[in-house]
Amino acid sequence: MKYPNNVRLSIMGFNHDEAYLNRLRQLIGGLRLKDRVELLVNAERNAVLDRLLQAKALGIPVIATKVGAVPEMLINGETGFLVKPGDELELAKAIEVLVKNHKLRERFSAKAKIFSMNFTVERQVDKLEDLYHEVLYHK
């Protein structure tokens, strides 16, 4: 199957296994995907979470692993896909589904933009104020 030319993939993570990373780099090079795949490993956790939120706000479909706070930032099957950490087959299937299904990418994109509004500074301040109000006045 021929995939769309405009598909780009950013792989981000915290993997410190150099042998694995070298294998991944070789795979990307061997498949001639260097112009389509961005490998950003060993990034700071906050940088990864910021990039996830930025992607959603821009309507870029996201596939992420079910670790840390990530499941709170993405609705599986609605704003992106959540896959099990270390499950390369599940990850590959999720990538293939998104690449092949233009309508699904559009749906994820639209919903992700809306959902990302929950993570603005203003919205977080509102939530914190509501929590303080609840604690102080509704003991």
Mean pLDDT of the chain: 85
Helix residue ranges, H only, 1-139 = 18-30, 45-57, 88-100, 102-116, 121-137
Q: What is the pTM of this model?
A: 0.75
pLDDT, average across residues 107-127: 81
Per the CB < 8 A criterion, the answer to whether 55 and 62 are in contact is yes
Nearest 5°: the CA angle 102, 62, 33 is 75
Note the pLDDT tens digit of each residue in 20-73. Answer: 888 888 989 998 989 989 888 877 777 888 888 888 888 888 999 998 888 888
Q: What percent of the chain has pLDDT over 90?
A: 26
pLDDT, average across residues 97-111: 92
CA 71/CA 138 separation, integer angstroms: 30
Q: What percent of the chain has pLDDT over 70?
A: 93
Residue-wise DSSP of 63-85? EEES-TTGGGG--BTTTEEEE-T
CA 22/CA 59 separation, integer angstroms: 31
Per the CB < 8 A criterion, the answer to whether 44 and 72 are in contact is no
Give exposure, 119-128, as e/b (b: 16+ Cβ within 10 Å): eeeeeeeeee
Q: Is 8 helix (H, G, I), strand (E, B) or coil?
A: coil
Using alpha carbons, select from 12, 92, 96, 88 the residue that is nearest to residue 46: 12
pLDDT of residue 1: 54
Under CATH, what is the fold of the domain 44-137? Rossmann fold (3.40.50)
